[in-house]
Structures are given as structure tokens and as C-alpha cells.
Amino acid sequence: MIRIGSLRRRLFLWNTLVLTVSLIGLGFTIHLVVLSDLTKQSDAHLLVAADTAASLATAVLSQDAKTASQANDLIRKVHSGMGGSSQESAQIPGMDARSIDSRIKIFNPDGQLLFREWFKSRINDQPYDKESLQTALGGTPEFRSIQVGGDRFRLLSKPVLQDGNVRLVVQVAQSEAQTELGVQQVDHALLHMVPIAIVVAGLGGLFVSGASLRPVKRMVAAVRKIDAQNLGQRLTVEPDKELAELGTAFNLVLERLDSSFESQKRFIQDASHELRTPLTALKVNTSVALSGPPSLEEYRTALVGADRASDRMMRLVSDLLFLSRTDAKEIPLEMERVSVTESAEAVVEALGAQAKQKGVDLCQRILEDLSVFADRFLLDRLLTNLVVNALSSTSAGGKVSVMAARNDAIVEILVSDTGIGIPAEHLEHVFERFYRVDSSRTRNDGGTGLGLSICRSICEAHGGSIEISSRLNEGTTVKVSLRA
């Protein structure tokens, strides 16, 4: 069905319009070519007739024909040689007998009629066309179309030169009826063929456009079936190049949607799972406190447990909020020049007690005073996360150091430890949300698996990057690159 505004309708209309204009143009060209061709043929015929008449006239004027009857005889011969009739009535059809009664007229250099093709009762000494005669008397042959008594004739006025002077002028006229008839026949054929061609090609175009849009309909039907439940479905890629590109692009969008949908699902599952642990702890502690008459000590233990659980929940929720806000680019950055040396010093100082308690040597070894253009609070949070990770993975006697160096327009901050290291298969996942190498152990330590995700978000928000390298049982180094 053709609907208003449909692509198929537009294709059909444009196709038909272009075809109509082209066919009309072609028809007009054919008309002109046929007209010019037939006129050329007629002109060639007039030229032969004029040349024959010219030789006749030259002969008559020479010694060959001295009397009028001899001249007349010669004229007859030439006329019959040219295919004319020997009857006086062999007048060109449609010609006005009073003005033109023969096809050939010959004039002397003064413009007076010498001969006509043959004599008739009503003699007309006038030239077929005076202007044309004058041109020929000037020595230039001329073809032109003339109108006589409502009919059109093709006329050749040809001078006969002798010693560079015009000796005679031959005028030969021929009806254009034949030419007009030929052109009319061609026009007639075109007038019938062009509309038929337009209708046939238009219907063909309609069929072709319908066939070429069929794969689009198939794609639309397939797309309609896709919803949130079956995002894993893919479109069949059609063989046509353009539709294959569309199908591939759509499949890529589906793939991205699918993976973001999946990661969102995983994120919600992970977040719920993470929240369940402290919630369970909270519930267990409150249940213990409420069951039976507990002692003061039991109350206290339950409250401490509940307090820890709510601390953990608060941390988890605030980390999640921070990540979702950086994802949505909602964290306003207060950019300023921040001394990396001072920041590192502050973090080392803040975590010094924790390191000492663990028996780990924590130090900063930044030799020059380096600064970056960053948000001070976020830089501190980044360094704290990295140092806390390093400390929790390093046992007594180990070492954690913060170093920094300038590399062109970049400041590289390195947080290294001599801790347990990360197995190679886990290394590429540690920046994922909720990812922990040893989930049971770190959960007991209080880790939620969001620290490195937050570090990466902070780096990206600053237009920087973060990398991690590690060797099992040897240690780990995290490199942060920020603009100086």
C-alpha cells in the first residue's frame, strides 16, 4: 500500500518525474534530429536538381540550343531526368499556380526570368523569393524555407558562376509536405510511446522500490520484537551494503545496551549483596540484644557490632553515591595548584600510626617540590585509598612508599609496596566495582571493593590515568598520571 509521506511513495514519484522529464527531453531531441535529417535530405535533393538545371541552362545559352523549342526540349529532358512528370499538370501539390507554377526557375544576372521548368498558360516571371534571389545574384547560394499560399516550401537559390561572375541564378523549390509528414509520423509514434514508457517504468519503479524496501520491513519487524528481556538478540545482517551497515550499527547499539544493562544488573546485585552483610550483622546484633534479658556486657557487644555494621553501610552508600555522581559528571571539581609533596606528606602522616601498628615502614620519597592542577580533596582521597590498599596488603617488616616524578607535562605519582602482590589473572579486574582478589579476607578487613574504582573515577575526572602492576609475593605499584 502506498502511504502519504512513505519512502516508497517518494521514490515512486521522483522516479516517475525524472523519467517523464528525460523522456520528454529525448522525444524533443528525436523530433529535432529527424527534422534536421529530413531537411538535409531535401536540401541534397534540391542541390542535385539545381546543378542539373544549371548545366541545362548553360547548355541552352551555349551553341547547343539556339531555338526556344530546342531549349524547351532540353528542359523537358532534364525535368524527366530529375524524376518529374512531362505533363503540364505536374505542378507541385498545394502550390499557388499564379505565383509558382514550376519547380525550377532560372534568372539572368539582371533578375529576369529566363526559363521555367516548362511553360504554362499563365506565365509567372516572379522569383520564388526575392531576397533569396538577391543573395544568389550576389554570388552566395542560399537555402531557406518559404511560405506560399499557406504551404511551406524549401527553396535553393544557386548562382552559376562563369569567370568569377554570376551568369545565372537557379531557384529550385520543393514542398516541405514530405518532411512535415515524416516529422509528424515520428511525433505521432513518440506521443504514443512516451506515456506508455512512463507508465511501464513507473510501475516497474514501484515494484523495484517495494522489493528493495522489503528487507527494511524485515528489520523493523525484528527490531519491534526486541525489549529489555531479550537484549541479547541480534538482527540478521542483510546482504545489501547500506542495510548491512544499518544492521551492523544497530547490532552494535544493542550490544552496548546489553552490556550496560548487564553491568547495571550486576552492579545492583553486587550492591545488594554488599549491603546484606552489614544488614545481617546489624540484625544479628539487635536480635541478640533483644533476646532474653542480656547482661550489660552483652548489650555493649551487640551495640558495638551494630555500630560497625552501620559504619560499613554508611561507607558503602557514600562510596556508591560518589561513583554514581562521578559517572553522571556531577562532582564539581575545585581545581587549584596542589603540591603533590604536601599531599603525600599529609597522607603518610595520617596513616603513619596505622602503619606503625602493623610494623610497616611507610614513607614518602618525593625529592623535588611537584605540583598538579587538581581538586585538593579528591587528590587526598586518591592517595589515601592507594596507601590504605598498600598497607592492608603488606605484612610486618614490609615497606610502603609514595614517590613522584615529573615527565614533561605530566606528574607521575607511584604508590609501591612490598606486599602480597596480585595474581596476574586478577590484575585487569581490580578497577571493576566490588572486585576483590580475596573477597572473604578483605570483607573482614572492611574493604568493599570500590576503592580502586573511585581512584580511577578521580583520575578520569582530572583528565589523567591510573595503571597497576604487581608481582605475586613481591609487591604492587600503582602509577597515577596527572597534568602538571
Ligand X SMILES: Nc1ncnc2c1ncn2[C@@H]1O[C@H](COP(=O)(O)OP(=O)(O)OP(=O)(O)O)[C@@H](O)[C@H]1O
Binding part of the chain for ligand X, among 262-270, 272-280, 352-360, 431-439 by CB under 6 A, reads 431-439
- Nearest to ligand X of 175, 401 (CB atom): 401
Q: Which of the listed partners (ligand X, Mg ion, none) does 393 bind, with a CB threshold of 5 to 8 Å by partner kind?
A: ligand X
- Nearest to ligand X of 278, 449 (CB atom): 449
Q: Which residues within the stretch 378-417 sit at the binding site for ligand X (CB under 6 A)?
A: 385, 389-390, 393, 417
* Residue-wise DSSP of 21-65: HHHHHHHHHHHHHHHHHHHHHHHHHHHHHHHHHHHHHHHHHSTT-
Binding part of the chain for ligand X, among 116-124, 159-167, 228-236, 446-454 by CB under 6 A, reads 446-454
Residues 6+ apart with CB under 8 A from 387: 347, 348, 351, 362, 400, 402, 415
Q: How far apart are CA 374 and CA 333, in angstroms?
A: 8
Binding part of the chain for Mg ion, among 107-115, 281-289, 450-458, 471-479 by CB under 5 A, reads 450-458
Out of 84, 182, 419, 451, name the contact with Mg ion by CB under 5 A: 451
Binding part of the chain for ligand X, among 37-45, 221-229, 374-382, 437-445 by CB under 6 A, reads 437-445
Orientation of helix 451-461 relative to helix 296-327, angle to 10°: 30
Closest to 385 (Cα-Cα) out of 335, 351, 342? 351
**Shortest gap between Cβ of 400 and ligand X (angstroms)?**
8
Out of 379, 452, 480, 482, name the contact with ligand X by CB under 6 A: 452
**Shortest gap between Cβ of 398 and ligand X (angstroms)?**
10
**Shortest gap between Cβ of 468 and ligand X (angstroms)?**
7
The phi, psi pair for 471, rounded to 5°, reads: -130, 130
Out of 436, 458, 466, 482, name the contact with ligand X by CB under 6 A: 436
**Shortest gap between Cβ of 466 and Mg ion (angstroms)?**
13
Q: Which of the listed partners (Mg ion, ligand X, none) does 401 bind, with a CB threshold of 5 to 8 Å by partner kind?
A: none
**Shortest gap between Cβ of 442 and Mg ion (angstroms)?**
8
How far is residue 286 from each of residues 213, 301, 351, 363, measured CA to CA in Å? Answer: 67, 10, 33, 42
Provide the grid cell at 277.
552483610
Position 476 contacts Mg ion (CB under 5 A): no
**Shortest gap between Cβ of 432 and ligand X (angstroms)?**
8
Provide the grid cell at 29.
531531441
- Nearest to Mg ion of 389, 401 (CB atom): 389
Q: Are 439 and 449 in contact (CB under 8 A)?
A: yes
SS3 214: helix
* Residue-wise DSSP of 283-324: HHHHHHHHSS---HHHHHHHHHHHHHHHHHHHHHHHHHHHHH
- Nearest to Mg ion of 137, 391 (CB atom): 391
Residues 6+ apart with CB under 8 A from 420: 393, 394, 395, 472, 473
Q: Are 139 and 127 in contact (CB under 8 A)?
A: no
Position 480 contacts ligand X (CB under 6 A): no
Q: Which of the listed partners (Mg ion, ligand X, none) does 448 bind, with a CB threshold of 5 to 8 Å by partner kind?
A: ligand X
Out of 65, 282, 422, 466, name the contact with ligand X by CB under 6 A: 422
Q: Are 23 and 194 in contact (CB under 8 A)?
A: yes
Place of cell 542480656: 294
Q: Which of the listed partners (Mg ion, ligand X, none) does 436 bind, with a CB threshold of 5 to 8 Å by partner kind?
A: ligand X
Q: Write out the H or E segment, with its range, that includes residue 415.
A: strand 410-417
**Shortest gap between Cβ of 447 and Mg ion (angstroms)?**
5
- Nearest to ligand X of 154, 456 (CB atom): 456
Position 442 contacts ligand X (CB under 6 A): yes
**Position of minimal CB gap to ligand X:** 451
- Nearest to Mg ion of 50, 391 (CB atom): 391
**Shortest gap between Cβ of 388 and Mg ion (angstroms)?**
6
SS3 155: strand
Place of cell 552501620: 310
Q: Which residues within the stretch 112-171 sit at the binding site for Mg ion (CB under 5 A)?
A: none
Per-residue string for binding with Mg ion, 355-394, x by CB under 5 A? ----------------------------------x-----
The phi, psi pair for 66, rounded to 5°, reads: -100, -30
Residues 6+ apart with CB under 8 A from 403: 364, 365, 366, 413, 414, 416
Per-residue string for binding with ligand X, 271-300, x by CB under 6 A? ------------------------------
**Shortest gap between Cβ of 254 and ligand X (angstroms)?**
30
DSSP state of 199: H
**Residue ranges that bind Mg ion, judged by CB under 5 A:** 389, 451
**Residue ranges that bind ligand X, judged by CB under 6 A:** 385, 389-390, 393, 417, 419-422, 430, 435-438, 442, 447-453, 476
